[in-house]
Amino acid sequence: MRLQDKVALITGGAQGIGRAIALGMGQEGARVIVADLQAEKAETVAAELRALGAEALALDVNVASEQSVQRLAERIFERFGRVDVLVNDAGVYLKAPVVSKSEEDWDRTLDVNLGGNFLCARAFVPAMRRQKSGRIISIASSIAHNGAREFADYAASKAAIIGFVKALARELGPDGITVNAICPGSANTDMPRRHRSEEETMARLRATPLGHVLEPEDIAGPILFLASDAAAYITGQTYNINCGTVMI
């Protein structure tokens, strides 16, 4: 049990990669907060965690709202008194070519994907500084490196996360807090299916050098490593988990 009694917050923890991270943290002994805009789904994941024997709490949050993140922090500190691990996974993925992308969509993508990182860091870093320890792990995307047609806002937001993480790692290192990013390739979740047929999705997921379909658990594993004591000397890095599709 590498995370025994650690308090771990996963935003966007209700489904897909976030859910796998939450379950993985619970299996490693962490007390898990599943925070998501979709409160019912978050509660389902919390129930799964409890069935595994882990302590879990589902909370609703809009990471793009200062008040909502503030309320989230208050509820967490009231119940747990601390946060050891913050995983920023909440994100949106809205398809449209740049020339016809609405300002609303642009703002939403940047506010949730990037702004959420900022607001959550601001809310939870002071407690980590007091503890003189903490782990922040932000989910970017291989699209940050490769770009993607009709997802320019998403690519920009995810690349910006990498820059943010590097700067934050420098700011927080002296307090014993590590900050790292993860760039998953396209994974076997609902997300790629939103804009493609099942057949096309699976064909694309199989077309990797390793020939292995990237599962949410493949992303969760390295995050558990980064959250554990074994990764105490690793900060400011970006881990690319994509079965060999992008090497940078």
Partner 1 sequence: MNPVALITGGGNGIGRAVAQRMAVGGMIVVVADYEYAAAEQVRAEVEEAGGTAAALSLDVTIAREVKVAVGEAAQRFGRIDVLANIAGGSFYTKRIEDFTWAEWKVVIDTNLKGTFLMCREVAPIMQKQKNGRILNTASNYGVTGSALRAPYSAAKAGIIAFTKSLALELAADGIRANTVAPGPTDTPRVMEKETPEARQQRWYSSIPLGRTGRPEDLAELYYFLTTPESAAITGQLFHCNGGLV
Give the C-alpha separation, 91 to 172, whole Å: 24
Give the C-alpha separation, 141 to 45, whole Å: 23
Radius of gyration over every alpha carbon of the chain, rounded to an integer in angstroms: 17
CB of 235 to partner 1, least distance (A): 4
Question: Which of 194/212 has CB closer to partner 1?
Answer: 212
Known catalytic membership, residue 154: yes
Give the C-alpha separation, 172 to 163, whole Å: 14
Is 163 in contact with 120 (CB distance < 8 Å)? Answer: no
Report residue 200 CA to chain centroid gap: 26
CB of 215 to partner 1, least distance (A): 8
Question: Which of 94/179 has CB closer to partner 1?
Answer: 179
Q: Give the pair of three-digit tokens for residue 113.
A: 């994907």
Is 120 in contact with 88 (CB distance < 8 Å)? Answer: yes
CB of 16 to partner 1, least distance (A): 15
Question: Which of 58/231 has CB closer to partner 1?
Answer: 231
CB of 209 to partner 1, least distance (A): 4
- Which residues does 194 contact at the CB level (< 8 Å), separation at least 6? 93, 95
Give the C-alpha separation, 169 to 159, whole Å: 16
Phi, psi of 182 (to 5 degrees): -125, 130
Question: Which of 2/41 has CB closer to partner 1?
Answer: 2
CB of 63 to partner 1, least distance (A): 25
Q: Which of 93, 154, 233, 239 is catalytic?
A: 154
Place of tokens 């910006």: 160
Q: Give the pair of three-digit tokens for residue 5.
A: 């009694």
Report residue 53 CA to chain centroid gap: 23
Residues engaged in binding partner 1 (CB under 8 A)? 169-174, 176, 178, 185, 208-212, 214-215, 218-219, 221-222, 224-225, 230-237, 239-244, 247
Question: Which of 120/219 has CB closer to partner 1?
Answer: 219
Residues forming the active site: 154
